[in-house]
Amino acid sequence: MIEYLKNIIPRIKQYSKELDKSENFVDKNWVFIDDNNNQHEYIFLRNGRLIMTINSTTKEGSWELLPTGELLIKRSTDDYLKLANIFIEDALLILKISATNNIPFILINQKLIPDLNVLAYLEKFEKQKEYEVKWEENNKSDEDLKYRLLDNGEIKGPEFYKGKVIDVEEGVILNGIYKTAAVLYEKYVLVKNNVIERVFYKIKYFYKGQVFKLEQDELGDPMKGGILINENSIKIPVDCFIKVVDEDNEKFWIKLSLDNKIKSYYNIGLTITFILTALIFLVIFILFIKQISSQ
């Protein structure tokens, strides 16, 4: 992990946000994975309180932004961490412990990276930024061409987000759903009077070798409320768990409601890992109890 970060961070550092703005991390659920693969939940509240949860045990600490642009975390009476920025993005806080060079402190936004796979997310992030840079380079000679409505009905442009105003040609009013020209995934925008009201994705999955798509508001794992798009009219059971696979070969159990929306889902890989970990702890606990009983 550390070697990978050393390689990729210099290439994407220019897209990093700053640590001196608390809006980049407050009131969000962050997950920290320690060396024993335990998941710690961190929530930075606006009043300086820090809520930390591990294994159903919740503790309270505090946080403070220092004038040096570093983040000071107080986790217990005598446990302080002073952290500096390595790379900050909506989905990740990659920080380093001050006075060290190679010990990253990584907080993951589980809403944006449900599988907590930092490496896979950074690879996709870099590819998308490369595409955006190439698009801008190809069009920077034409000052008026920032967004373009293509002949096939797609919208081409450097970025799309809710509230963005899209002016393609003078006098042209856009209303409706448009596919963007993103190269890594199917990205769509709902536009009303040239203003983006919604951004969503159509993500490809496989069920018994057949293809279907899910419409959801974020990239990543299947989401509760995601809508089934069954363009090939394949038979997909509802109201029971079915096994599906995405294009990265990640496996999931999903349950569809009668109106073809996802009621619940599980990442099979993460679920198996959790069960195996729980079984290992159970075996260790049983052996410990037997050892005590035999004394």
Q: What is the CATH number of the domain that holds 6?
A: 2.40.128.640
* Tokens standing for residue 20: 């001196």
Segment 57-79 mean pLDDT? 85
Q: What's the Cα-to-Cα distance from 100 to each of 34, 74, 96, 97, rounded to whole Å? A: 18, 18, 7, 6
At 107, the pLDDT band (50, 70, 90 cuts) reads very high
Please indicate, yes or no, whether residues 114 and 154 belong to a single structural domain of this protein: no
Residue 25 near residue 31, CB atoms below 8 Å: no
Backbone angles phi, psi at 36, to 5 degrees: -95, 15
Task: Please report whether residue 240 resides in a domain.
Answer: yes
pLDDT at residue 267, rounded to an integer: 74
Q: What DSSP character marks residue 113?
A: -
How do residues 160-212 score in pLDDT, each as one tens digit? 888 888 887 777 889 999 999 876 778 999 999 989 999 999 988 899 888 88
Under the banding of pLDDT at 50, 70 and 90, the label for residue 226 is: confident
Range(s) of the domain holding residue 79: 2-120
Same domain, 151 and 295: yes
Q: How many domains does the chain have?
A: 2
Alpha-carbon span 100 to 127, nearest angstrom:
29
- Shared domain check, 247 and 161: yes
Render pLDDT for 112-158 as a digit per residue (tens, 0 to 9).
888 888 988 898 888 888 877 776 666 554 444 467 888 888 888 87
For residue 269, give every residue at least 6 positions away whose Cβ sits within 8 Å of its Cβ, in sequence order, or none. 115, 250, 251
Give me 261's structure tokens: 């929306």
Checking 285-291 for CB contacts under 8 A at 24+ apart, the result is none
Count of all residues that appear for the chain in the document: 295
114 and 7 part of one domain: yes
In this structure, which amino acid lies at residue 260?
N
Examine the domain organization and report whether 151 and 291 are in the same domain: yes
CA distances from 174 to 19, 147, 151, 178, 215 (A): 37, 12, 14, 9, 22
What sections of the chain are H helices per DSSP? 2-12, 118-139, 268-294
